[in-house]
Amino acid sequence: MSGYNHAEHTVDIGDKDAQDFYARLSQASYEGDNLGATSQYLDQHVGDGWKVDEELSNMDRSVFYKPKTDGEGNNVVMANRGTDAKNRTGNRMRNMMTDASIFFGAEPRSQRFKKANTDFLAMREKYGSDSNYSVSGHSLGGSQSLYLNRRYGVEAHSLNPGASFSHMAKGAVQKAMCWWNPNNSDCKSADNSTIYHQVGDPLSTSSMLGRDKKVLANSDKSKTGYNPHSLSHFYLENRKN
């Protein structure tokens, strides 16, 4: 994969709405401890030939793929799972430690983020240079997709990504740096990243100062409820007309 330019290999989602598509895959990743439930959710809410890679998927992230229309390689998405709030995997303390590392801006040193890096490289190794790649995730999962974007330049779609005041400061510095030198590698990576944000979400507001493209949710609260951190704000069916 040496010399692979991710910006030239964006994932083809056809005529699907990007916000809804990546929100659905991010939701499917929450079923990562149950591959049958992941596949069922994918068939019901995404369809269109997308499948779960059962070899690479695990309780922290799910890998989805669909063959490219030209028959050369695949479109491949790694959706990183957010915090397991319901403790379905029995790893509440592990989740809390990773969330704490985000709060202090030390997430690259956490085991969860190191494993995201390892799994990403395994995905690229399996699907090769003929494939297109993107990463996504909600909350803690969105933080991981941003991390992978900055490291590899891969297309990222992050929904209410977890962030802290340290990320707000980094974002402001990055914006100033990119104004001065837009060809910096971090700036080019950020140009290949989109953050989807629900106004009022306290856990992701600090992510909004970076160079990444920003999309604000426009949801009907009578359908989604008023939890601003919920993924439901990003579903097409819940969008205001």
Three-class DSSP category at 195: strand
pLDDT category of residue 240 using cuts at 50, 70 and 90: very high
Q: For 70-81, what is the mean pLDDT?
A: 95
The amino acid at 198: Q
Identify whether the C-beta of residue 19 lies closer than 8 Å to the C-beta of residue 236. Answer: yes
Is the pLDDT score of 91 beyond 90?
Answer: no
Percent of the chain with pLDDT over 90: 62
Q: Which of 4-8, 106-110, 112-116 shows the lowest per-residue confidence on average (mean pLDDT)? A: 106-110
User: If you ran DSSP here, which 8-state letter would residue 194 be given?
Assistant: E
Specify which residues 77 forms β-bridges with. 64, 134
Give the separation between CA 107 and CA 83, rounded to whole angstroms.
14
Is the pLDDT score of 11 beyond 60?
Answer: yes
Structure tokens at 236: 């097409």
Is the pLDDT score of 56 beyond 80?
Answer: yes
Q: For 4-20, what is the mean pLDDT?
A: 91
For 173-195, how does the pLDDT look when each residue is reduced to its tens digit (9 = 90+)?
777 778 788 888 889 999 999 99
For 31-47, how does the pLDDT look when each residue is reduced to its tens digit (9 = 90+)?
877 889 999 999 999 99
For 110-128, how does the pLDDT look when each residue is reduced to its tens digit (9 = 90+)?
778 899 999 999 999 999 9
Give the separation between CA 116 and CA 34, rounded to whole angstroms.
19
DSSP, residue by residue, 121-138: HHHHHHH-TTSEEEEEEE
Q: For 129-141, what is the mean pLDDT?
A: 96
Q: Tell me yes or no: is domain 6-238 CATH 2.40.160.
A: no
